[in-house]
Amino acid sequence: MTRVPPFDRPASYDDLLRQPDHLVAEILDGELHANLRPSAVAAGSAFTLGGMLRRACSAGDPDGWQILNEPELRLGADVLFPAAAGWRASRLPELPRTAYFSIAPDWVCEIPATYPASLRSRRMAIYAGEGVSYAWLIDPVAQTLEVRSLQEGRWRVVATHVGGQLVRAVPFEALELQLSALWPREPGKTRGR
């Protein structure tokens, strides 16, 4: 992700809208950043994960979830587009009529390969400041899932899963997830092997 003008003042949402359509623009700590859309591998992993977690959603269930891929989060002056995010149904019983969310999610999934490593700590600090309880960091190339939990205002790594493991990860520990489904297929191999 590259920082783009304006450099002389905090970026506004209008500045974000002026970016070309082929870029994903975000505002982090008042700075406008833009990058190309996620790679097909990253987008595929996020899409597959969203489908797997939809089983955690149950209409009308107060313990259910609202889970979306690439939602626009307007958290104070920050505008972010995580790979996926989820809200407990008890906090967000219905999706808003707007194209964005001003209520911080309970869980986010980030694919750090879609932006420079230098922005990871800034993004995670914004999520922590907004009280997001859980974060998953997925690397489809290294085939890893890092699970973090917010404790006393700081992120703690709860688990790191590698390869094709079957995992149960907070806050979706009721679901058994086959990680190999998230990774790009190698030529001649099928998923789950």
Looking at residue 60, what is its pLDDT?
53
Homologous superfamily of the 38-182 domain (CATH): tt1808, chain A (3.90.1570.10)
pLDDT in tens, the chain (193 residues): 567 767 789 999 999 999 998 888 999 999 999 888 888 888 889 889 988 887 666 545 657 899 999 999 999 999 999 999 999 989 999 999 999 999 999 999 999 877 777 888 999 999 999 999 999 999 999 999 999 999 999 999 999 999 999 999 999 998 899 999 999 876 555 554 4
Delimit the domains of the chain by residue range.
1-37, 38-182
**Under 8 Å between Cβ of 68 and 57:** no
Helix, strand or coil, per DSSP, at residue 99: coil
Which alpha helices (DSSP H) does the chain contain, by range?
13-17, 40-53, 120-129
What pTM was computed for the model? 0.88
The answer for residues whose C-beta is within 8 angstroms of residue 174's C-beta and 6 or more apart is: 56, 168
* Distance of alpha carbon 74 from alpha carbon 52, whole angstroms: 26
The answer for residues whose C-beta is within 8 angstroms of residue 20's C-beta and 6 or more apart is: none
